[in-house]
């Protein structure tokens, strides 16, 4: 499958989360985290910091990416197993965050190194997006063969597919054909 028509990226630090989730192309595309050295290179390109990545770290990155993808299904109206939230909290929970206070307010900063630092950046981005009200518009394509992460810039925030022209049209065509088959078998 080819990458969907590009949308505008997610705002602020959600862009990093979007890039992380889209580091693999579903269902059979290239996974940019497929080996520990490639994951280290991807992390360097994404955040500009050299990190050692073990095979265990790589597995945690992939588990986190896929748990995020599963969680984001809720933003298109799908039911999400509560175990996904528990798994994601555990995966992100190794990265301690600390408040940074100024006269203007507070923010969170990551207080660790390595892969945990990156996962802390993901946690911080989620908290920031939640506070800004942008988290609910961050979604994954409803198409099971795509699941591309995108930010819903639509006026009503009800988008379900990464691209109406690609995944949306395919889904609507499948639904139409299924209704036609049911109609033709029912009239026999």
| Distance from C-alpha of 85 to C-alpha of 81, rounded to nearest angstrom | 8
Task: State the DSSP code for 35.
Answer: S
Give the pLDDT confidence score for residue 125 in this predicted structure. Answer: 96
Query: DSSP 3-state assignment of 143?
Result: coil
Give the pLDDT confidence score for residue 39 in this predicted structure. Answer: 98
Please check the confidence at residue 187 and state whether its pLDDT lies above 50: yes
What percent of the chain shows pLDDT beyond 90? 65
Confidence of residue 1 (pLDDT cuts 50, 70, 90): very low
Give the pLDDT confidence score for residue 153 in this predicted structure. Answer: 87
Please check the confidence at residue 46 and state whether its pLDDT lies above 90: yes
Confidence of residue 176 (pLDDT cuts 50, 70, 90): very low
Please check the confidence at residue 5 and state whether its pLDDT lies above 60: no
What's the pLDDT tens digit per position in 49-104? 999 999 999 999 999 999 999 999 999 989 999 999 999 999 999 999 999 999 99
Confidence of residue 8 (pLDDT cuts 50, 70, 90): confident
Please check the confidence at residue 179 and state whether its pLDDT lies above 70: no
Q: Which uninterrupted H or E stretch holds 173?
A: helix 169-186
Locate the domains of the chain by residue range.
Answer: 14-186
Q: What is the mean pLDDT of the chain?
A: 86
Give 6 or 187, the one with higher predicted confidence.
Answer: 6
SS (H, E, C) the chain: CCCCCCCCCCCCCHHHHHHHHCCECCCCCCECCCCHHHHHHHHHHHHCCCCCCCHHHHHHHHHHHHHHHHHHHHHHCCCCCHHHHHHHHHHHCCCCEEEEEECCEEEEEECCCHHHHHHHHHHHHHHHHHHHCCHHHEEECCCCCCCCEEECCCCCCCCCCCCHHHHHHHHHHHHHHHHHHHHHHHCC
CATH architecture of 14-186: Orthogonal Bundle (1.10)
Please check the confidence at residue 161 and state whether its pLDDT lies above 50: yes
Please check the confidence at residue 181 and state whether its pLDDT lies above 90: no
């Amino acid at each position: 499958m080819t990458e969907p028509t590009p949308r505008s990226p997610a705002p602020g630090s959600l862009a990093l989360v979007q890039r992380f989730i889209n580091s693999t192309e579903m269902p059979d595309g290239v996974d940019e985290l497929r080996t520990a050295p490639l994951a280290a290179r991807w992390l360097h390109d994404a955040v500009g910091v050299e990190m050692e990545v073990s095979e265990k770290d790589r597995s945690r990155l992939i588990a986190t990416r896929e748990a995020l993808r599963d969680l984001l299904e809720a933003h298109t109206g799908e039911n999400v197993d509560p175990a996904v939230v528990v798994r994601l909290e555990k995966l992100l929970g190794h990265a301690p965050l600390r408040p940074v206070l100024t006269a203007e307010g507070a923010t969170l900063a990551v207080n660790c190194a390595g892969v945990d630092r990156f996962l802390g950046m993901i946690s911080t981005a989620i908290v920031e997006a939640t506070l800004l009200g942008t988290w609910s518009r961050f979604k994954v394509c409803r198409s099971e063969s795509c699941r591309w992460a995108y930010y819903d810039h639509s006026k009503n925030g009800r988008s379900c597919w990464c691209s109406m022209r690609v995944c949306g049209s395919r889904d609507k065509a499948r639904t139409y054909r299924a209704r036609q088959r049911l109609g033709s078998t029912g009239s026999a």
